[in-house]
Structure 1
């Protein structure tokens, strides 16, 4: 497996990866919601910013991706997905470490994200990488807005959390 920047012709493959990975999350949450992929424009913008990374198999076919963006002085993780067949093999960890490296190279203050509090490959996984849960008093306004938007779109407010790995 190798990590590299995503290519423009791979955006539709990344949508397929996201939909495939959603099955694991739906199982963990016990929900039967339809999977939705990020809009191609979001992935394209992330790629233009140099913050769309793919994990590729031996045939150089993407098996996972991380899409991010710079917000303020942070690297915000928009989405991290790995196809079910490759989950629990360190692919997500390597992609997250690549995001942390990119944030450090850009001299940002840290990496932030929103996630599920309980699913083992969500908040507990990010904690294992050094991320901390953010209470309202330490949460940047853009993360509060992201959480509010997720809840407005039907996510459980008791399960959604914001997390950060601060460098300073």
Structure 2
């Protein structure tokens, strides 16, 4: 990936900050790089060459102050988390870490920052949708305290997100919605 630091970095060597508009293409490259992990799973290998979050979507979330990067070295992004405040929740739309930097706790640090932001903003929960069985998806979030929501516990908003994802080829039986309730709510 052009412009990315070549050395691997762990969470102690990255800082989390708001993304900038001049970094949008770098964020899209990071998402493409992160998706290469899906090549290892035959049923999902098509995701490695699929679409990434649009530049317009990044710009919108940057404007809302809910698009953060994990920056290393000379303040170069190596990962990002895009979210949006919807009602009383912070919904995570995308979290990606450059494939050269995966497995070193950067994703965990981004999630920690998002949950801290949700608490700072007095929101009730952090939500997301993800793959049920892929180790760096649902099991990862469970280790961070998220719980999988059964279909009967889904809010209409989360059910709609899963339905929209199904319309883009992400089968409902492979996906789930998850929630981390903020302390005190």
TM-score by length of 2: 0.87
Distance 1:128 1:60, change over 3 A: same
Deviating more after overlay: 157-166 vs 134-143: 134-143
Contact 2:126 / 2:180 at 8 angstroms: preserved in 1? yes
Determine which of 134, 138, 141 is the counterpart of 1:123. 138
Instruction: Identify unmatched segments of 5+ residues in structure 2.
Output: 1-13
> 1:39-91 deviations in whole A, cap 9, x for unaligned?
11111111111111100111211000000001111000010000000000000
Aligned residue-pair number: 168
Displacement after TM superposition at 1:31 (Å): 3.2
> 1:121-162 deviations in whole A, cap 9, x for unaligned?
100000011000001222111110010011111112211000
Determine which of 34, 40, 57 is the counterpart of 2:55. 40
Write the mapping of 1:18-97 to structure 2, written as runs, cut at 5 A: 18-28=31-41, 30-33=43-46, 34-97=49-112
Contact 1:29 / 1:119 at 8 angstroms: preserved in 2? no
TM-score by length of 1: 0.96
Deviating more after overlay: 149-158 vs 67-76: 149-158
Pairwise CA RMSD of aligned residues?
Answer: 1.1
Displacement after TM superposition at 1:25 (Å): 2.5
Distance in 1 between residues matched to 2:34 and 2:98, nearest whole Å: 5
SS in 2 for 1:59: coil
Deviating more after overlay: 35-44 vs 124-133: 35-44
Q: From the CA coordinates, give the structure whose radius of gyration is larger.
A: 2
Instruction: Identify unmatched segments of 5+ residues in structure 1.
Output: none
Deviating more after overlay: 59-68 vs 136-145: 136-145
